């Protein structure tokens, strides 16, 4: 393990890691249908069903493994977990690129869900090296990496697929992950100090065990449920965006792709730049409140707009609301002690994955029920109205959580977790306060 203090290379590495993760995920989106058809001989309609199973496999696996990976990083440190994930991604993408059978793609998505759970460790790493007052801005930087990856990945994946066939993007993703692994081996220092580590416990290293431990921090426990409601509402986008805009505005694939590109660009600008300016000036809780209010209005507007051009005005409104997620993470990481940052981020990643399992099922059925002939009411935007209501509920929960936040970490709980018979030391107390 490196004894060097983390500097600009560490932050750059985390940004690149998340960026490459999202680029790798986006690279394969345009070519996955063609590869499934090539491996199975099925038509596009049946291939879409198998593609949905690949998505569910990824989300369910990440839901299960995110707390385990987070707990491992709290025990052994951030560096080995992050590097192991990059090594796994390198192998996984290569295997999927060579896959001769569909079941190998299924195994590949399962492995990707396990390695992708390292996103929780990336956030814990950010918390380790960032003062509490600056965390929201740096969590926003991670959000910007997501946005940029979602812009770059599908575009490059489509070009490579057209030029070299549907397997080429998988090999490109493997090369990117491998190069970042080498970069991390050279520059990445460890950030979790020995005194801030804790033993691995299976009772905590699962989605429900992690949430049960977080109950000791009332403000964080409440905010976790606010985040769950937010994520459930946000699942409306991957679930029905393409179908909704094609149905209501008769957009073709190019117009849908353009709208998604604008979403990615605006999200990257807000989370990568505006968050670092607005959150310190407004304060975390005001930023959270403003974000959720904009989300309530934005979702309702998506569901009620009558012309396609109006969608772009709403996209800008919704992008500004993106300051809320980093601010939420900043509040929660400030309250949690240093030896539980991985556990917190693992629980967050699990909730995000669970929302991607449950949300699309609800939103797609709601869209189908209020669209086309036989619908009781012609209201294809109904899923967005539901997302607005879920965000309103999240705002209520967040406002209640604010009353429980005294502005500092819960030291009493941290002390209670000191192993029996182990004396407090100046080093351990200093480690908690960092």
Domain 206-419: state its class.
Answer: mainly alpha
User: Which top CATH class is 1-190?
Assistant: mainly alpha
pLDDT the model gives residue 411: 42
Is the pTM for the entire model greater than 0.85?
no
DSSP string, 367-395: HHHTSSTT-SS--TTHHHHHHHHHHHHHH
Q: Could you tell me if 206 and 67 are in contact, meaning their C-beta atoms sit under 8 angstroms apart?
A: yes
Q: State the Cα–Cα distance between residues 209 and 353, nearest whole angstrom.
A: 16
Q: At residue 360, what are phi and psi to the nearest 5 degrees?
A: -60, -35
Q: What is the pLDDT along the chain (434 residues), one digit of tens a residue?
A: 444 455 566 778 788 877 877 787 777 766 776 788 888 887 654 665 676 677 778 878 877 887 788 788 888 888 888 888 888 888 888 988 999 998 998 898 888 888 775 667 777 788 788 887 777 777 777 777 777 777 787 778 878 888 888 898 889 989 988 988 888 888 788 877 887 787 877 776 676 776 677 778 888 888 888 988 998 998 888 777 877 888 899 887 667 777 877 887 888 788 777 887 888 888 889 999 999 999 999 999 999 999 999 999 999 888 888 888 888 888 888 888 877 777 777 777 777 777 777 887 788 888 888 887 778 888 999 999 999 999 999 999 999 988 887 765 544 344 444 443 333 333 333 333 33
Question: What's the confidence (pLDDT) of residue 414?
Answer: 41
CATH 1.20.1250.20, the chain: domain bounds: 1-190, 206-419
Give the DSSP letter string of 79-101: HHHHHHHHHHHHHHHHHHHH--S
Helix (H) or strand (E) run with residue 212 in it: helix 207-214
């Amino acid at each position: 393990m490196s004894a060097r203090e983390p500097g600009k290379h560490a932050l750059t590495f985390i940004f690149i890691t998340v960026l490459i993760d999202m680029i790798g995920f986006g690279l394969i989106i345009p070519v996955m249908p063609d590869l499934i058809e090539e491996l199975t001989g099925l038509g596009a309609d049946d291939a879409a069903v198998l593609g949905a199973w690949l998505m569910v496999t990824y989300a369910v696996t990440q839901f299960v493994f995110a707390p385990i990976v987070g707990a491992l990083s709290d025990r052994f440190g951030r560096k080995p977990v992050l590097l192991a994930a990059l090594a796994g991604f390198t192998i996984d993408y290569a295997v999927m690129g060579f896959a001769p059978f569909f079941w190998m793609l299924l195994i590949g998505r399962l492995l990707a869900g396990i390695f992708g759970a390292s996103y929780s460790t990336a956030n814990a790493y950010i918390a380790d090296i960032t003062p509490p007052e600056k965390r929201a801005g740096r969590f926003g930087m991670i959000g910007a990496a997501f946005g940029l990856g979602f812009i770059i990945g599908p575009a490059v994946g489509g070009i490579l697929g057209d030029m070299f066939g549907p397997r080429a993007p998988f090999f490109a993703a493997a090369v990117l992950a491998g190069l970042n692994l080498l970069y991390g081996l050279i520059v990445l220092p460890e950030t979790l100090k020995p005194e801030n580590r804790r033993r691995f416990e299976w009772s905590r290293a699962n989605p429900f065990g992690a949430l049960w431990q977080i109950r000791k921090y009332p403000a964080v426990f409440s905010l976790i449920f606010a985040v769950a409601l937010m994520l459930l509402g946000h699942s409306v986008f991957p679930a029905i965006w393409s179908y909704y805009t094609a149905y209501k505005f008769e957009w073709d694939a190019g117009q849908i792709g353009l709208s998604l590109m604008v979403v990615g660009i605006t999200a990257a600008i807000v989370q990568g730049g505006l968050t670092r300016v607005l959150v310190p000036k407004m304060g975390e809780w005001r930023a959270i409140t403003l974000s959720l209010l904009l989300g309530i209005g934005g979702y309702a507007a998506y569901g009620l707009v009558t012309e396609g051009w109006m969608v772009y005005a709403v996209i800008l409104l919704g992008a500004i609301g993106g300051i809320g997620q980093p601010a939420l993470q900043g509040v929660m990481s400030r309250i949690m002690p240093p030896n539980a940052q991985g556990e917190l981020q693992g629980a967050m990643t699990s909730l995000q994955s669970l929302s991607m399992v449950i949300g699309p099922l609800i939103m797609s059925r709601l869209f189908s029920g209020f669209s086309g002939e036989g619908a009781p009411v012609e209201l294809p935007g109904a899923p967005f109205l539901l997302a607005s209501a879920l965000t309103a509920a999240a705002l209520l929960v967040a406002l209640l959580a604010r009353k429980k936040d005294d502005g500092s970490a819960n030291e009493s709980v941290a002390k209670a977790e000191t192993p029996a018979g182990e004396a407090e030391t100046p080093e351990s107390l200093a480690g908690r306060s960092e």
